[in-house]
A and B are shown apart, each in its own frame.
Chain A
Amino acid sequence: MLDVFGNLAGGFQTALAPENLWFVFLGVFMGMIVGILPGLGSTAGIALLIPLTLGLDPTSAIIMLAGVYYGSMYGGAVTAILINTPGEASNIVTTLDGYPLARRGRAGAALAVAAISSFIGGTIGIILLSLLASPLSSVAVSFGPAEYFCLVLFAMTAIASLMGSSPIKGIIAVLIGLMIATIGTDLQTGALRYTLGVPDLQSGVDFLIAAIGLFSLGEVFSALEDEMRATGKPIKLKGRAWLTRSDFKRSVKPVGRGSFLGFGVGVLPGAGGVIATIMSYATEVRIAGRRRKFGTGEIEGVAAPEAANSGSTAGTMVPLLTLGIPGSSASAVLLGALLVYGIQPGPLLFDQQPDLVWGVISSMYVGNVVLLILSLPLVGAFARLLYIPRTILLPLVAVVSMVGAYSLNNRFSDLYMVVFFGVLGWGFRKLDIPVGPMVLALVLGPIMESTFRQALTISEGSPSIFVDSWISIALLLLAGLFMALSVRRPKAKVDGTESEPEAVRSGLDD
């Protein structure tokens, strides 16, 4: 333990050097800007900014890129809350209550709680990373394909049962998302699946294209339709752009739970922030029971997933630094950056390059503080974006979405794809099918299929492998429990009354 504090002290000396402090600040700021732009999430942000860091000392460069990672995570939450467009897959869950909060004029509170939760989640995550990095790396490798499959299945079940007006529609949305995820070239056999002879489909459907279409354009189409019907209500910001005492009180426990849960899930390679945010949201829904109407703008629905997201960001550093295994797409790009600088992550990294490792870990503490300092004053400014009349804001969101969609792969076909998903999202909203589970299934689908196939290959086709370990059994039981409980959940009435999500969308809760 003393070693840890000694190393951290050395790391802080590195991180607090004036030039590194400047790089942390720059990285966080650029990350926030990149995160706010649709299509350019943390992965693209880090990738875009790697060339800018090539002339720097490796420690400074990695410190700056870690700052970009943190900043873009928060930037993704800003757009998720303000315009229902998650910057990252891990921000999808934030839209569920963040956007309804903004529609009710409480964008400031939602943004503030996102910033504070991110800060606390990130700080707890980094403390756990400092203390537990080495022992946890052995837990991470104890998860085999069968356990991963069960984990993803559990996450899917949780999200299908929690989102939307009916669990069965949530399941249909998940299944359609999984189906879209199978489009493209099968990486294990090279077989083409569902490509319809279109060459651009051979590489599959990018989940960010689907997310931009389903969330951003879908919302633009629905909101413009509301304007045509004259049912769209202008958003009036209520009170100060800050949290009330009650908001603080209600957020404390969800943030604590989300931070630890997020870190724990983040440690598992491949699980990343998506599963962490789903699990923390699901936990809060279950704990609150009927006291809260999640999906209509509950502060806990933003606090918990944002804390989990930041906690998982620190968690993904455990397998990245100790095993060289990236836990998410953004950390995969970070791994690429480490390799560019000749740094080989792995068990020996802590011994061979302690200055770098502890410098990066310490800079994450500093980056977290810088993120809070930068984000809180901007909460009011971000919230005021909603003052722009919707008839101007909506088409502008469509334009930015198109630019963002193109910039992902520089392919014109992505523009047609994003419009297709936009129309699909608009149609799903009309049919009360939740779009969130579909996008999450699209993200997790490849992991689910590959682990399913790997597990069955190991067991030579015997499905008993999925009940061989206590971890798998526990996760399967949890998945079953979630489905069973969701059947008892109060649903939207089937007598023609508008369901919750639609009520929120059309501003009826104002």
Chain B
Amino acid sequence: MQQSRSPLITKDRGVAVGAVLIGAAYLIEAMRIDAPVANDAIGPSTFPKLLGVLLIASGVTLLLLRWRRVPAATTEAVDGPSSAGPGGVSIRAVALYVLVPAAVYAWLIPLLGFVIASMGYLAVVLWKFRPNRTVANIAISVASPLAIGALFGVVLSVPIPLWPYVMSGGV
């Protein structure tokens, strides 16, 4: 057993500090907004400055509210950003299997087109989350992008790049 602050208080303090930092950065940038001849009474930087000040004030308020409630809860472990969660899954694992595939998928779409990039994304995610169902996973990975692509690209005539540039003949 270790004496520690509760996860919610730790999180809230993180949110408070983050809000102050974002507010400060936003405020500094607001002061650098190049305002030509303003057509209105206050110009384009007043509203952002106001928002920056309010966010800093909100962050400080949250910090003060959580600072007062210091009584430490006795918990087994703090669910901090780098620690494993209840299922023994770290943030790193979530990033690797959930966030990174989505980011790579977005990056590949302009190169491979929606259909092939989607097939790849679905194959990776399904392989991770349904490892013992290879045939079904392949079928879903191949059929779904074709169906979704047909719905958007053909039925609704939404101009999406379904295939790689070379395969679509530049269309």
A interface vs B, CB < 8 Å? 34, 37, 40, 48, 166, 168-169, 171-172, 175-176, 178-179, 182, 186, 188-194, 217, 220-221, 224-225, 227-231, 389, 391-392, 394-396, 398-400, 402-403, 406-407, 410, 412, 415-416, 418-419, 422-423, 426, 430-433, 449, 452-454, 456-457, 459-461, 492-497, 499
Contacts and interface: CB of A to CB of B under 8 A. Distances in A.
Of A178, A217, A493, most buried by chain B (CB within 10 Å of CB) is: A178
Contacts of A496: 6-9, 73, 75
Contacts of B152: 37, 403, 407
B168 interface: no
A400 B144 CA distance: 10
Interface of B: 6-9, 11-12, 14-15, 19, 22-23, 26, 29-30, 33-48, 51-52, 54-55, 58-59, 61-62, 65-66, 69, 73, 75, 85-89, 93-94, 97-99, 102-103, 105-107, 109-110, 114, 118, 121-122, 125-126, 129-130, 140, 144-145, 148-149, 151-152, 156-160
B47 A452 contact: yes
Given A188-B40, A191-B35, A175 B121 contact: no
B23 to A, nearest CB: 8
B122 A172 contact: no
B36 A391 contact: no
Contacts of A499: 8
B126 A391 contact: yes
Contacts of B86: 229, 231
Given A172-B55, A189-B43, A194-B29, A407 B106 contact: no
17 contacts: A40-B156, A48-B156, A172-B15, A179-B26, A182-B48, A188-B39, A189-B38, A191-B44, A221-B99, A225-B89, A225-B94, A229-B86, A396-B122, A399-B121, A402-B118, A461-B41, A494-B69
Given A395-B126, A398-B102, A399-B121, A453 B41 contact: yes
B8 A182 contact: no
A120 B86 CA distance: 45
B58 A175 contact: yes
A415 B87 contact: no
A456 B46 CA distance: 11
B61 A456 contact: no
B73 A407 contact: no
B33 A423 contact: no
A193 B156 contact: no
A186 to B, nearest CB: 4
Contacts of A453: 40-42, 46-47
Contacts of A494: 6, 8-9, 12, 66, 69
Contacts of A416: 106-107
Contacts of A399: 118, 121-122, 144-145, 148
Contact of B62 (A37, A172, A176): A172
B112 to A, nearest CB: 12
A118 to B, nearest CB: 23
Of A176, A389, A423, most buried by chain B (CB within 10 Å of CB) is: A176
Contact of B106 (A169, A400, A419): A419
Nearest to B137: A392
Given A175-B58, A495-B73, A418 B11 contact: no
Contact of A224 (B87, B98, B157): B98
B42 A422 contact: no
Contacts of B107: 416
A486 to B, nearest CB: 14
Nearest to A422: B102
B30 to A, nearest CB: 8
A221 B7 CA distance: 21
Given A402-B106, A415-B110, 18 more contacts: A168-B65, A169-B15, A179-B26, A179-B48, A179-B51, A189-B43, A189-B44, A191-B34, A221-B99, A227-B129, A395-B122, A398-B105, A416-B107, A453-B46, A454-B40, A457-B40, A457-B41, A493-B8
Contacts of A192: 34
A328 B85 CA distance: 44
A423 B98 CA distance: 10
Contact of B6 (A225, A432, A495): A495
A445 to B, nearest CB: 9
